[in-house]
Structure 1
Amino acid sequence: MKISKNTNHKEESISSKENQRRSFIKKAGLGGLSLASLSLASAAEQVDYVSQNVNRNSNPSTLKITDMRIAEIGGDVAFRTPIVRIYTNQGIVGHGDVRDGAAKEYALFLKSRLLGENPCNVERLFGIIKQFGFHGRQGGGVSGVEMALWDLAGKAYNVPVYQMLGGKYRDKVRVYCDTTVSKDPQEYANRMQARIDQGYTALKMDIGINLIKDIPGAIINSQDASYNPYQYEYRSYNETKHPFTRIQITDKGIDLLMEYLDVMRSKIGYDIPMGTDHWGHFGVNEAIKIARAAEPYNLAYVEDIIPWQYTEQWKEITLASTTPTQTGEDIFRLEGGFEELITTRSVDIVHPDPNTAGGILESKRIGDFASKHGIGFMHHHAAGPVSFIGCVHSAAATENFMWLEHHAVDKKDWENLVTGFDGPIVKDGYVTVPDKPGLGVELNEDMVKKYLIKGEKLFAPTPEWDEIRSWDRLWS
């Protein structure tokens, strides 16, 4: 009985204090509280009053992951991109993109490793899931989840992601853009000029043997030769690594390719940096031919002219010409990927895609390591606007950053997939670094629904991925 009475007394005391607190806050809210009356209030009441405008949307120390779901978009708005949404016990959600063209299962596989965890422990959770990423599109799951974790952590602490990376080096991030290809050199140059007229100050053009493959005498052992070099092979030209196609480019072919660069420079001049990509599949000797022939046109770089794995061959190309070399969009992480390219100075510029490289923090680590060795640093990107903004935070927080790729200039609804920006995301060739919590954007669900892949539902439940069914430890 005594216990019961004491309990009742305690409950009445708590109730009385709560009523007093509410009365105090009500008076304060009505503006009827003076400094004198504040000084007479209890310590608890004073704390309640002075902290009434503090964000209480999240309690970071008790935040837990409760679910992960996917909405996969594509078509006229972007390359096929699975959008990750991570849910928590406090109602806030975080978003990231799986790499364009990658499978959503790369992310969903990670769900069982994250349920019940605090998303604010981004680096620790990355340590758990990183073993399930790899080069190319296989890095997309780990990278997309990492971005969603940063989005959640920023929202929980009410700060932008770049601030959690140590702050920013720039308020605006410079972007470069592609344009659509034309076999007519003059028309191609006109399209480049149109990009400049839109405000872009760095460009890239796709130029390669596909533009001249139907011209007699330009390409030896072409995939389109009448005798079809691949008719008895188990793999196509596109699936054959560059050194093994045995394609050669004749002097005539080199002259035809250089005509595109000559007309382009004659049109846009030499003030604008111009990079090149998609040269074709051929070996190191042909790559050196191209790099040397392009020297008069002062290209910003030749990108992925051979596969990134051939470090020694990249160094051979780099040393053979003054045309800068660049690779990296398909590399996962610093260790086991970028580290060797950078330490051996095999390329002039590294070009990670944060959607493959391991996410926002790993991309910053790559940039910082490149800076230490005097190597340039850019970002590739070809997915949705959520991860594009994730790239902006990584770029803002890395000292030696150059340019971020914008691959959706002509996709009118691409920017409409998200909300939170005043005006366009990209303006006059730059992106203003968001100062809102997390990544700084939220999804426009109506627009996401419009571009869902056929048969896909908007963030449908994924209970089949809730349970771990393997032993993940990599050592005995």
Structure 2
Amino acid sequence: MENKTGKNSRRNFLKKVGLGGLSMAGLTLAPIEDQVAYASQHVNRNSNPSELEITDMRVTRVLRTPIIRIYTNQGIVGHGDVRDIGDYRYALMLKSRILGLNPCNVEKIFKIIKQFGHHGRQGGGVSGVETALWDLAGKAYGVPVYQMLGGKYRDKVRIYCDTTMSSDPQEYAMRMQERVDRGYTALKMDIGISLLEDVEGALVNTEHWENKPGGLSGWNSIPGSYANTEHPFTRVQVTEKGIDRLMEYLDVMRSQIGYEIPMGTDHWGHFGVNEAIKLARAAEPYNLAYMEDLIPWQYTDQWREITEASTTPTLTGEDIYMLEGGFKELIDKQAVNIVHPDPVGAGGLLETKKIGDYAQQKGIPMQMHHASSPVSFLGCVHAAAATENFLWLEHHFVDTPWYDDLVTGIEKPIVQNGYVKVPEKPGLGVELNEEVIKEHMDQELGFFEPTPEWDEQRSWDRLWS
């Protein structure tokens, strides 16, 4: 029977244990109610997982990344990211479909909302909600997310870092060396035909695109521009002179950092299969870790043609949503050497693990793309820890000094000597540093403002009759 005296004696018992006044051997001789009290003293008594319900979803945005917060009836919250440069409404449109549900039923909710995701940034809403659900479930049960994904294969996750482009090969090489000096053991460099725009005789068929809106910029939203024309249809070609110039960059890089450090390449430009094969073959002497996104991922047979034509490894996948309808064909056809999902767009943490597990069955390793906030960065760390064929995770904000400050609850710096320790705290293992978020957030969107306009479901979602 519970009474005041019993509560006081139990409190005194726990105090003695906490002060080292009792040994663990002595604990076994204590009354059973004291043993139970000691064993359960760290349980989150504010959470009853079976009665947990989602009550709200709100959003803020920082580093071009919408961060969602899911609220519950028991006071605990979960966080996730919509993919970088994605629309926060991809997540908010899901709010009416998850209100009142138990966030611990992650798979059940995922099956409800997955139809509203798609490739590219459109997968960011579903992925952000899925990550936030794992964060909530981990907090409710008091375990780190990796444990709910099946446990971990590694205690720390290897990071590769992006490096911004420079037209000067020597300057570019020094930027890469700075990464090495900071302890990174895997690198990626942006290199491509944009470096050849001013090199006479290096490219064919560029004048057509230069005279159109957007020019040869690879990043704009202009319909019909070079940036929005899929690679095989630009008919841009690279001459031998252009190839020699691009290989000069690789030669300077390797001369500076050596051959021990894996180095991948990205943003080669928009051109067809033949140009991709020429470049991949020319790069063979430099032992690249991979050439990324040479053509759109959808052209699976063309990817296999490129992969089979050269010993330079190929990699793609950051814009693919889910295993089914996305990665599966790429993997089944052995079209690339490495798959490259972004968990913030691929469907979330468990879906990324499923992609990795399936690729492993076919003998293909997995890297992870990431260019969002530290919230999903740590989410990726959990997924990477739980996936056996994982190689490296991308860190896109190496040069943003306040990146680590956006979260609390984890040892800083987050990346140490090129690795991230897998968090052992419940959920993702971090919380938002609200002061820093408010300092750098999108002021127009605000800080997790109420979103009642998204509470009501206004459509019939069933996909069958």
TM over 0.5: yes
1:429 to 413, 418, 427: 418
Amino acid at match of 1:25: R
Asked if residue 366 in structure 1 is aligned to residue 350 in structure 2, the reply is: no
Once structures 1 and 2 are overlaid, which stretch shifts more, 43-52 or 438-447? 43-52
Residue 19 (structure 1) shift: 4.0
Cα distance, 1:214 vs structure 2? 1.4
Q: Does 1:104 align with 2:79?
A: no
* Of 128, 150, 153, the match for 2:134: 150
1:71 lines up with 2:60 in the alignment:
yes
Deviations 1:345-401 (A, max 9, x none): 000000000001000000000000000001120000000000000000000000010
After superposition, residues 179-258 of structure 1 pair within 5 angstroms as 179-222=163-206, 235-258=224-247
- Once the 2 structures are TM-superposed, how far is the Cα of residue 72 of structure 1 from its aligned partner? 1.1
- Structure 1 residue 178, shift from structure 2 partner: 1.2
Residue deviations 1:257-314 (CA, integer Å, cap 9, x gap): 1110111111111101110000000111111110011011111100000000000000
**In the TM superposition, what is the alpha-carbon distance from 1:452 to its structure 2 partner?**
1.3
Aligned to 1:280: 269
> How does 1:107-186 map onto structure 2 within 5 Å?
107-186=91-170
TM-score w.r.t. the length of structure 2 is 0.93
The answer to whether the 8 A contact 1:72-1:452 is kept is yes
Shift of the alpha carbon at 1:54? 3.5
State the alpha-carbon separation in 2 of the partners of residues 228 and 214 from structure 1: 17
* 1: CA distance, partners of 2:57 / 2:211: 51
What CA deviation, in whole Å up to 9, does each residue of 1:45-92 have, x standing for no partner?
87556644443231111111111100111xxxx3x0000100111111
Instruction: Tell whether the 8 Å contact from 2:281 to 2:312 is kept in structure 1 after alignment.
Output: yes
Q: Distance in 2 between matches of 1:48 and 1:250?
A: 75
2:370 is the counterpart of 1:385: no
1:83 corresponds, among 46, 55, 67, to: 67
Distance change >3 Å, CA 23–CA 254, structure 1 → 2: closer
Deviation track 1:202-249 (CA, whole Å, cap 9, x = no partner) reads 000100000011111111111577755989x95110011101101011
Q: Residues 216 and 413 of structure 1: is their aligned pair in 2 closer, same or farther, counting only changes over 3 Å?
A: same
Counterpart CA distance in 1 for 2:213 and 2:58 is 45
Give the 3 Å change call, closer, same or farther, for CA 292–47 of structure 1 in structure 2: closer
Q: Distance in 2 between matches of 1:251 and 1:241?
A: 23
| Aligned-partner Cα distance in 1 for 2:434–2:144 | 22
Name the CA shift for 1:116/1:251 in 2 (closer, same or farther; >3 Å). Answer: same
Contact 2:69–2:132 (8 Å) recurs in 1: yes
Which ranges of 4 or more aligned residues in structure 1 deviate by more than 6 Å? 32-36, 38-41, 43-46
For 2:332, the equivalent position in structure 1 comes to 343
Structure 1 residue 39, shift from structure 2 partner? 8.8
Q: Which runs of 5+ in 2 are unaligned?
A: 216-221
Structural RMSD (CA): 2.4
CA contact (8 A) 1:241 1:281 kept: yes
- When residues 118 and 263 of structure 1 are mapped into structure 2, their CA distance, relative to the original with a 3 A threshold, is same
Deviation, structure 1 residue 44: 6.6
Structure 1 CA distance for aligned equivalents of residues 342 and 438 of structure 2: 26
- Higher Rg: 1
**Alignment of 1:309 onto 2:309:** no
Q: In structure 1, give the amino acid aligned to 2:420.
A: V
| SS of aligned partner of 1:100 | coil
Is the CA contact (8 Å cut-off) linking 2:177 and 2:257 kept in structure 1?
A: yes
Partner of 2:10: 25
1:461 and 2:430 aligned = no
Q: CA distance change for structure 1 residues 441 and 474 in 2, over 3 Å: closer, same or farther? A: same
Q: Is the 8 A contact 2:80 2:132 kept in 1?
A: yes
Change (3 A) 1:289 1:152: same
Q: Which runs of 5+ in 1 are unaligned?
A: 1-15
Q: 1:371 to 1:53 in 2, by over 3 A?
A: closer
Asked whether the 8 Å contact 1:223–1:230 carries over to 2, the reply is no
Q: What number of residue pairs does the alignment pair up?
A: 454
CA distance in 2, matches of 1:253, 1:58: 62
Contact 2:209/2:226, CA 8 A, preserved across alignment: no
